[in-house]
Amino acid sequence: MNKRIAIGFDILFTRFGKQHWWPGDSPWEVCTGAVLTQNTSWSNVEKAIALMKSAGALDPRVVVELPGSELEALIRPSGFFRIKTLRLKNMAVWWLANVRDSKLSAGRSTAEWRQRLLEVNGIGPETADSILLYCFKQPVFVIDAYTRRIAARHFGTAPEIAYHELQKLFMENLPVSAELFNEYHALLVRNAKECCRKNICLEDCPLRAYLLIKSFKPDKLNRFD
């Protein structure tokens, strides 16, 4: 299992290269995207963020002060806009209380920050981990539907494996590195969208035949040691 995960990164990186994730001009924009992307496509999130930018609302202070109806109109393209308005406002309150100069306040561990994020109404494990990894460069591996799909098909995990168990599997079998976790998750998403799709693993999926490459060594992981 350890070898499969390590080799998987090398194969995906060789195929797709660096992904430059997460798209966003600021940590708060990345955080906003992490909240809005729940149950929708990224293209819809981009539309909502563009509307927020044009209205000068891509700021946690503005989000807190903006009437709910106005924020709902701005993020409507992301779907579930009423509940996401509440979640985004909750997240903005948390951000203003805990973030200074786009950095987490000192004195707490990653695990403590994760627990505090999970206490925000509407923020689940995937969103919390995305915020920690992509906004604050904390070494946590994000588990999403794409990761589950590829892990079940190519790494031998159970499709119904618990979030924390699959996360632990990745984090215990890779060098502890926010940069690596960022890159690997982005590569998994890219492969799932282009090659290892929901109902079929296409012939050009780079992971289809990797178990046949007995001499393949995960040399690209060395850059993250």
Can you tell me the mean pLDDT for 77-96? 97
Q: What is the pLDDT of residue 217?
A: 56
Q: Which helix (H) or strand (E) holds 86?
A: helix 81-98
Radius of gyration of the chain from its Cα atoms, rounded to whole angstroms = 18
Residue 219: its pLDDT value, please? 61
Q: Is the dihedral of CA 159, 162, 166, 167 positive or negative?
A: positive
Residue 80 banded pLDDT, cuts 50, 70, 90: very high
Percentage of residues in the chain having pLDDT higher than 90: 82
Check residue 224 and give its pLDDT: 60
Mean pLDDT for 23-29 is 93
93-144 tens-digit pLDDT: 999 999 999 999 888 999 999 999 999 999 999 999 999 999 999 999 999 9
| 190 within 8 A of 140, measured Cβ to Cβ | no
CA distance 132 to 118: 11
What distance in Å separates the CA atoms of residue 187 and residue 146, rounded to the nearest whole number?
10
Helix (H, G, I), strand (E, B) or coil at 104: strand
Secondary structure of the chain: what % helix, strand, coil (to 5)? 60, 5, 35
Predicted confidence at residue 159, as pLDDT, reads 87
Same fold? 2-20+142-224, 27-136:
no
Q: Give pTM, 2 decimals.
A: 0.91
CATH fold, domain 27-136, is Endonuclease III; domain 1 (1.10.340)
Confidence label for 15 from pLDDT (cuts 50, 70 and 90) = very high
Q: pLDDT band at residue 52, thresholds of 50, 70 and 90?
A: very high
pLDDT at 177: 97
The pLDDT, as a whole number, for residue 23 is 84
CATH class, range 2-20+142-224: mainly alpha
* Strand ranges, E, within 18-124: 99-100, 103-104
The residue-averaged pLDDT of 169-182 equals 96
Q: What is the pLDDT of residues 29-50, one digit of tens each?
A: 999 999 999 999 999 999 999 9
pLDDT in tens, 189-217: 999 999 999 999 999 999 987 644 444 45
For the chain, what are the domain ranges? Answer: 2-20+142-224, 27-136
What six digits make up the tokens of 6?
A: 């390590």
